[in-house]
Amino acid sequence: MLAEQLDKAYVELAHIKVAEPLYAFINKQVLPGLTIEADAYWQMFDSIISNHHAQNMALLEQRDQIQQQIDDWHHQHAYDQDDLQAYKQFLRDIDYLLDEGPDFQVDVNHVDREIATVAGPQLVVPINNARYAINAANARWGSLYDALYGTDMIADAGDTARTAGYNEQRGEQVFEFCTQWLDQVLPLHNGSHADIVDYNHEMVLGVDRPVFKLANGQQLKLIDPEQFRGYRKGDDLVLLFSHHDLHFELQIDHRHPIGQHHPAGVKDIILEAAVTTIQDCEDSVTAVDVEDKLLVYRNWLELIKGSLSVDMSKGEKSFTRRLNPNREYYDPAGKSFELSGRSLMLVRNTGLHMQSELVLMADDSLAPEGLVDALVTILISMHDLGRKHTYSNSHAGSIYIVKPKMHGPQEVAFSCQVFADIEQAYGLPPNTVKIGIMDEERRTTVNLKECIRQARERVIFINTGFLDRTGDEIHTSMEAGAMLPKAEIKRARWIDAYENWNVDIGLACGLAGQGQIGKGMWAVPDQMRQMYDSKQAHPQAGANCAWVPSPTAATIHALHYHQVDVKQVQQQLAQRPRASIDDILSIPLLPQDRKLDAQEIQQELDNNAQGILGYVVKWIDMGIGCSKVPDIHDTGLMEDRATLRISSQHMANWLRQGLCDQQQVIDTFQRMAQIVDKQNAATPGYRKMAPEFDGIAFQAAVDLVLEGTLSANGYTEQLLHQRRRRLKQA
């Protein structure tokens, strides 16, 4: 896109042009309170954009060249997953698969304990939705009672069904669950929490200690007294404990409407839950123009300053949602202290492939959005550095940026160099800006050790992302043949190796005790019992954080980090053999001797098309970048651009390989559009797609498949942004 296509005003600098609204936002809202003068700032901004633009574009061109070489190889060779020598040698010849250098250990300083040493859930939230952003930041602490009572963790049927008022029998199930949990994480000498009738505390030689009383007046003691960390007195008594580096509160009030039903007056148990939150500028947001992007930056600024708020109403009640203050306690010796009331926030910037009308280059082409993101989000984050205030984010003096969709070590090195140049320009100490590496592209996976090496003084996070990783898996090997059905790809040989490899490499490079080794999202927000029964596998696999879709899910997933000592697991896993690179390079192809019948093919097309439409119609028409979308069976799934990438690429692959034809794809989308219309009939602002099928959103969904082999690395952003802008302009 060139400037003449944009109805925007720009401020001309030496080598670039900056959209007037961004220029005004930086000058009037961001720079005040910092020590950088406006004229000096824009000189730095101009220099960094213009100096790094060419390399950014060259790295994107290298991606395209590598992909073309892979496509050509598959046209000329038959891929044999039982004999990968020729394939691996080819990947080495084109510098896709690099030789590993010597072993090393990361050396990262000034990392907050929430990242370095605490294992717990991690929320990812669209930063342009202020309510979600606040809720996520506040999800550092969550009510276990609410998480159990309000979800399917307790059977929602018969005597324990949810009712309009408080259901005592359902409440008793909550109490029983919590009692069993307390016996595990806060064990007592010769007794159970079920026997306690009162939680209290008393002074012994000037030191507080918890007192757990039985009905006969006897007392039970903690097996480990060091678990008691403090207390708070007010209308209720709050006792603070810790287990596996996570805190939790017992809130005692026999007169409370809930506490009066509990044998010991426990009105609630509050868990430290989402220890960290990624405020996302990328896959979960729709930011297609200057107006959208400024909302992203403004919300980040107000989050950092602690001033973000949202006016809300529930029924006849109106209120304002704000960031939570810190939580105050007295330690056992009676000295006051605080714990943060909010998650430690990381901010996810856009990838190298994104471009933005916020800044134009000298030829009026759009500047790389990732460079603009880095310059602006780091500048905003400087309001947090060196200031100890109620809403401080990093107490270690660091800025945490998650960088997505990097392909291999060169791109990691490029991102680190951008951060280094910004630090120098802004007067920040070297390595103030830390980097989270998303291991979601195949070229990053197979070279993960070398990626980490490039960021060894900055890296605080590596994370597997199955959906984007699968989308790249399909697009990279588009010409190799037809892929397995989508559900089977998830069970194929490569996926376990990929997940294990990420942990193996992270531990070998010394991330234990230095940073996060993360796992992906639980995508079914209404099925908390199923999540509770299965997601313990993530800490058991050595991950000290994993993504969850809601504050409630964070509270439930926090239970897993009490059940599993991740530090101990990591020590054990560090001794196992590394996962196989051959397994990782095993392409999940449909075996040549397996023929899918027409019904199997159509069911797969239906499932993909329905999911694509359900997400795209909200993205294009309503500007919703992350939402709960009903699948073909009406189960709500969390969808973002990563889920869209895999579904569209899967359909594009089957179309390319002849399992279906273009007319069948179009017919499928038209049938599924009618289902999606029915599913959204009660959604305010929804535009029906059927029967005309001529809307921008419907055509965008179809084109994501029909043009799927042509999109760079299978990314959906360019088409989505183009169509959303068209709709907004119309």
Tens-digit pLDDT profile for residues 18-38 = 999 999 999 999 999 999 999
Q: What angle separates helix 38-76 from helix 369-381, to the nearest 10 degrees?
A: 140
**Using CA atoms, how far apart are residues 115 and 340, in angstroms rounded to an integer?**
14
**Cα separations in angstroms, 571 against 27, 504, 541, 543:** 49, 11, 11, 12
Task: Please give the single-letter amino acid code of residue 107.
Answer: D
The rounded distance, in Å, linking the Cα atoms of 551 and 57 is: 39
Q: Is 3.20.20.360 the CATH number for 3-138+280-328+339-584?
A: yes
* Relative orientation angle of helices 598-622 and 696-706, to the nearest 10 degrees: 130
- Please identify every residue annotated as catalytic: 348, 640
Q: What's the burial of 359, exposed, middle or buried (CB within 10 Å: 0-12/13-18/19+)?
A: buried
The secondary structure of residue 240, as a DSSP letter, is E
The order of strands in the sheet holding 207-214 is: 196-204, 207-214, 219-220
Say which CATH topology domain 141-272 has: Malate synthase G - maily-beta sub-domain (2.170.170)
Least confident of 302-306, 443-447, 637-641, 669-673: 637-641
H-helix or E-strand spanning residue 196 = strand 196-204
702 in Cβ contact with 636 (< 8 Å): no
pLDDT digits (tens, 9 = 90+) for 458-472: 999 999 988 999 999
Span 429-440, average pLDDT? 98
Average pLDDT across the chain, whole number: 96
Q: Alpha-carbon distance 615 to 724, whole Å?
A: 13
The closest alpha carbon to 510, from 574, 566, 451, belongs to 574
pLDDT at 7: 63
- Domain boundaries of the chain, sorted by first residue: 3-138+280-328+339-584, 141-272, 598-729
Contact yes or no for 259/266 (Cβ under 8 A): yes
Q: Quick: pLDDT tens for 572-614.
A: 999 999 999 999 999 999 999 999 999 999 999 999 999 999 9
Span 357-407, pLDDT tens digits? 999 999 999 999 999 999 999 999 999 997 777 899 999 999 999 999 999
pLDDT band, very low/low/confident/very high, at 6 (cuts 50, 70, 90): low
Q: What is the pLDDT of residue 1?
A: 43
Residues 400-428: tens digit of each pLDDT:
999 999 999 999 999 999 999 999 999 99
Q: How confident is the model at residue 4 (pLDDT cuts 50, 70, 90)?
A: very low
The whole-angstrom separation of Cα 491 and Cα 668 is 26
DSSP code at position 259: G
pLDDT at 665 over 50: yes
Q: What pLDDT, on the 0 to 100 scale, is given for residue 8? A: 77
- At residue 388's C-alpha, the angle toward residues 386 and 392, to 5°, is 95
**Of 401, 390, 309, 292, nearest in space to 347 by CA:** 401
Peptide bond into 32 cis (omega under 30): no
What is the number of alpha carbons within 13 Å of residue 351 lying toward its C-beta? 24
Q: pLDDT-derived band of residue 303, with 50, 70 and 90 as boundaries?
A: very high
CATH homologous superfamily of 598-729 equals Malate synthase, domain III (1.20.1220.12)
Cα(296)–Cα(348) distance, integer angstroms? 11
pLDDT of residue 3: 45
Indicate the angle between helix axes 130-138 and 290-305, nearest 10 degrees: 30
> Which pLDDT score is estimated for 235?
87
User: What does the pLDDT read at residue 2?
Assistant: 46
